Amino acid sequence: MKKERTFKFTIPEEELMNSGHLACQGCSATQAMRFVLKGLGRKTVLCIPACCWAVIDGPVPYSCLEVPIFHCAFETAASSASGVKAGLEMVGDTETTVVAWAGDGGTFDIGLQALSGAAERNEDIIYVCYDNEAYMNTGIQRSSATPYGAWTTTTPVKHFKRRPKKDIVAIMAAHKIPYVATASVAFPEDLVKKVKKAKDIKGTRFLHIFAPCPTGWKSRPDDSVKLARMVVQNCMFPLYEVENGEKYTLNIRPKEKKPINDYVRLQGRFRHLNEEQLALMQQETDHNWELLLKKVDAK
Amino acid sequence: MKKVIMGNHALSYGAMISRSQVIAAYPITPQTQVVELLSEMCASKALDAKFIKVESEHSAMAASIGAALAGARTFTATSSQGLALMHELLHWASGGRLPVVMGNINRAMAPGWSIWSDQNDSLSERDTGWMQFYCASNQEVLDTVIQAFKVSEALLIPSMVVLDAFSLSHTYEVVDLPDQAKVDEYLPPFKPRFRLTPSEPHAFGGLTSPEHYFEFRYKLQKDMEKAPAMIEETGREYEKMFGRFLGLVDPRRCDDAEILLVTSGTAGYTAHVAVEEMRQAGLKVGNLRMKVFRPFPFDKVREIAGRAKKIAVVDRNISYGHHGIFFQEIKSALYGLKDAPAVFGYIAGLGGRDITPSDFGGIVRHALANDRPEDNIVWIGVKR
């Protein structure tokens, strides 16, 4: 008899996100949510501040998710989640994972104080930042997560963003919380593995998920996964973990570090950059990569 | 059990005896002792609650809202600048129909920095959909916290229990701590019909189109309209069990008064004293101390104040470009009443300047000497 081949999926099959959501075509924020919920399962509560996902989920009385959602104020993802966790515990629910789910604006900018407070207290929550590198929900305004060189509606091409992207991972690691990790929607196995790992840790856990936005980046909707892969391969957004603020682990070390040009060329938001500016961008990427390798290799 | 405690600790004991489950708070003078005692109570397990030591008042209210949505009885306290920082989330708590109870110590707004009492902090939050109770004694503070939880949880509307900086917050008075078992009977555990739980997943507060938003606000107002009767009813119930009535207003010598003071907060008790003194001198004067500001006790005000010939409203607050805030509200409540009394407006005690019995004497003499108010603001004790 012929032996039947069995497949073992590393990603849970259960879908906790349904169709009928309101995201743009090619939106990676939806992929991020889908994978994170697969990793966390049904016993999850989401606190979602103002961000694309405040709309994507669907208007009252609809929701595309199978888990409960608290739509909270813009700057309160971490403080709301802190309260929810305390409240659930006091009514006898110690099992549910409480997640703060915010965009880069709600994390890097307006919500940073509440996030820092929650992390310093080591609240037992998972904070997920899906990072599309600008205020996309309000129409593509720059955030402190917007990278050097990018066009946005508040950094027009004549005054494109000159300052580098804020290093949120370093900020969170500096709080000495048990777990900080980066992830990309192009690497779902890695992403789900990190979500599951985070789920089993007590204390504040921070996931920074790279989520391309075709609407804001002026890229093709079918390039989103490709861009999320390239950004890891060219080391602009390396996949790594920081445990207790000290132990750095690099999850993917590209055999051959790709130049940033191909990645940049697929996005209209960088179209205005000249050779010199692109070289600066490459330099910044190389520099950050070297710094990270030092942290990873320092034993 | 009787205890000599400061007003701030009356709030803490009120939160404890109400079995608050989550407290999220940030220190601010003159509220600090509220959270200090509560953190001690949580640490010593005198109170079985989670205390979230947040990094700002904004986070204090955000965490309180989250905890209440999860189904926990939630208490916080603040003052002045802290309350102003919470402003956005005050709307969130009432719009989300979450019965958070908060102590607010009335402190004047900066600049210049002031830690002393006036009411502009809490009255600036008039339209946020919170109930507001203005207390005049430490006993009333403690009792009102318990009652506020009861009314808030029945109507799903948050409550603010307000007391004056220093003249109440730091003043020690004898307070009767009610028996825990009896309080448990008066205030059973909080069991909301809807809460944030994976066993019944709902999305709370999502994008709400013009198709639905209007009705949510209509319902908030309709429930707020039920509050006056419920406050009186739960106040009588409280009186039956604990011997102290908690009503919408606290009238003193109002029945035959020809001239009526309208006051609030600790100045309201000072006015009670002044009224007794003036009665001895033969003046037909009374004092209507306003306990509840939101919901506005419209019927009570018309019934009691409508009988007087003259009304002297004393405001420890001001709406710049208009008048004293209680003055506006009293006038509006009396509008259209046949033979409505003449209403005089006085502003006194901003930034913690004392309001004394002799100030009330001066106010009454002024109102008696004038047939009608010449000005909408008569300033008491201002240096010009």
Q: What is the mean pLDDT of residues A283-298?
A: 95
Instruction: Indicate if the pLDDT at residue A70 is higher than 80.
Output: yes
One fold for B2-242 and B250-379: yes
Answer whether A192 touches B (CB < 8 Å): no
Flag if B200 and A89 touch (Cβ within 8 Å).
no
Residues of A (48-67) whose Cβ lies below 8 Å from B: 54-55, 57-63, 65-67
Which residue of chain B has the CA closest to A82? B63
- Each residue's pLDDT, cut to its tens digit, for chain B (384 residues) gives 999 999 999 999 999 999 999 999 999 999 999 999 999 999 999 999 999 999 999 999 999 999 999 999 999 999 999 999 999 999 999 999 999 999 999 999 999 999 999 999 999 999 999 999 999 999 999 999 999 999 999 999 999 999 999 999 999 999 999 999 999 999 999 999 999 999 999 999 999 999 999 999 999 999 999 999 999 999 999 999 999 999 999 999 999 999 999 999 999 999 999 999 999 999 999 999 999 999 999 999 999 999 999 999 999 999 999 999 999 999 999 999 999 999 999 999 999 999 999 999 999 999 999 999 999 999 999 999
Amino acid letter, residue B232:
E
What pLDDT sits at residue A1?
Answer: 62
Q: What is the 3-state secondary structure (H, E, C) of A246-272?
A: CEEEECCCCCCCCCCHHHHHCCHHHCC
B21, B49, B201 ranked by CB distance to A68: nearest: B201
Sorted by where each begins, the domain ranges of chain B are 2-242, 250-379
What pLDDT sits at residue A9?
Answer: 83
How many other C-beta atoms can be found within 10 angstroms of the C-beta atom of residue A256?
A: 5
Which residue of chain B has the CA closest to A41? B198
Instruction: Indicate if the pLDDT at residue A194 is higher than 90.
Output: yes
Pairwise CA distance, residues B134 & B356, whole Å: 19
- A interface mutation test: which of B19, B38, B54, B195 has the most A CBs within 10 A? B54
% of chain A residues with pLDDT over 90: 96
Chain A: give the shortest CA distance to residue B223, in Å: 21
CATH number of A28-297: 3.40.50.970
Q: How confident is the model at residue A10 (pLDDT cuts 50, 70, 90)?
A: confident
And the tokens for B258? Answer: 């020809």
- Residues of chain B neighbouring A117 (CB-CB closer than 8 A): 54-56, 59
Q: φ, ψ for residue B311 (rounded to 5)?
A: -125, 135
pLDDT tens string A97-149: 999 999 999 999 999 999 999 999 999 999 999 999 999 999 999 999 999 99
Q: How confident is the model at residue A93 (pLDDT cuts 50, 70, 90)?
A: very high
CATH number of B250-379: 3.40.50.920
CATH match of B2-242 with 3.40.50.970: yes
- B interface mutation test: which of A72, A74, A175 has the most B CBs within 10 A? A72
Looking at the DSSP bridge assignments, the partners of residue A131 are A210
Residue closest to B171 by CA, chosen among B335, B8, B372: B8
Flag if B72 and A42 touch (Cβ within 8 Å).
no
pTM over 0.90: yes
Residues of A (71-110) whose Cβ lies below 8 Å from B: 71-73, 75-76, 78-91, 93, 96
How many other C-beta atoms can be found within 10 angstroms of the C-beta atom of residue A16?
A: 19
Flag if A84 and B70 touch (Cβ within 8 Å).
yes
Instruction: Indicate if the pLDDT at residue A48 is higher than 90.
Output: yes
Pairwise CA distance, residues B322 & B199, whole Å: 51
pLDDT tens string B271-314: 999 999 999 999 999 999 999 999 999 999 999 999 999 999 99
Instruction: Indicate if the pLDDT at residue A163 is higher than 70.
Output: yes
Contact partners, residue A240, CB within 8 Å, separation at least 6 = A169, A181, A182, A248, A249, A250, A251, A292, A296
Flag if B212 and A61 touch (Cβ within 8 Å).
yes
What pLDDT sits at residue A7?
Answer: 78
Residues of A (106-135) whose Cβ lies below 8 Å from B: 113-114, 116-117, 120-121, 123
Pairwise CA distance, residues B312 & B356, whole Å: 15
Pairwise CA distance, residues B50 & B38, whole Å: 10
pLDDT tens string A214-270: 999 999 999 999 999 999 999 999 999 999 999 999 999 999 999 999 999 999 999
What pLDDT sits at residue A299?
Answer: 61
